[in-house]
């Protein structure tokens, strides 16, 4: 197992940074601005069976534009907001810290999510 100082997808060194609650875009500097301006709402959703993420309202809707093959699924698999389940868990609205891959441009929480799904799918 790779140490958590390396990206689980590309093995690049991770950096610690402030993040907004969205586990997909929360590491982007502009998302921190959006958070402080109150531009988004956040929810925890079951994205795939037994795999949950906290996503902002934009990333919830945009998720369907992702390539299913990125997650190790067949390209014909349908993914997107209409296939997600709200958990109705209260999401704390605060800035946190997470490790971030500057190569993949993703937070470690999301990278771990992708790595786990790929492993389950045999990729």
In terms of DSSP bridges, do strands 51-56 and 42-48 run parallel, antiparallel, or are they unpaired? antiparallel
Output the pLDDT for position 44. 93
Output the pLDDT for position 7. 97
Which tens digit of pLDDT belongs to each residue from 99-112?
A: 999 999 999 999 99
pLDDT reading at 32 higher than 60: yes
Buried b (16+ CB within 10 A) or exposed e, 59-89: bbeebeeeebeebbbeeeeebeeeebeeeee
Output the pLDDT for position 1. 47
Q: How far apart are CA 90 and CA 84, in angstroms?
A: 17
Output the pLDDT for position 2. 47
Which tens digit of pLDDT belongs to each residue from 50-102?
A: 999 999 999 999 999 999 999 999 999 999 889 999 998 877 789 999 999 99
Which tens digit of pLDDT belongs to each residue from 4-23?
A: 799 999 999 999 999 999 99
Quick one: average pLDDT of 29-54?
Answer: 93
Output the pLDDT for position 93. 84
């Amino acid at each position: 197992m790779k140490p958590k100082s390396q990206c689980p997808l590309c093995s690049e060194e991770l950096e610690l940074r402030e993040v907004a609650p969205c586990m997909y875009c929360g590491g982007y500097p502009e998302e921190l601005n959006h958070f402080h301006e109150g531009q988004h709402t956040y929810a925890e959703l079951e994205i795939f069976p037994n795999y949950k993420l906290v996503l902002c309202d934009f990333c919830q809707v945009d998720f369907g534009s992702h390539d299913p093959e990125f997650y190790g699924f067949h390209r014909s698999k349908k993914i997107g907001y209409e296939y997600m389940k709200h958990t109705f868990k209260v999401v704390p609205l605060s800035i946190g810290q997470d490790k971030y891959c500057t190569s993949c441009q993703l937070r470690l929480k999301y990278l771990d999510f992708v790595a786990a799904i790929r492993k389950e799918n045999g990729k």
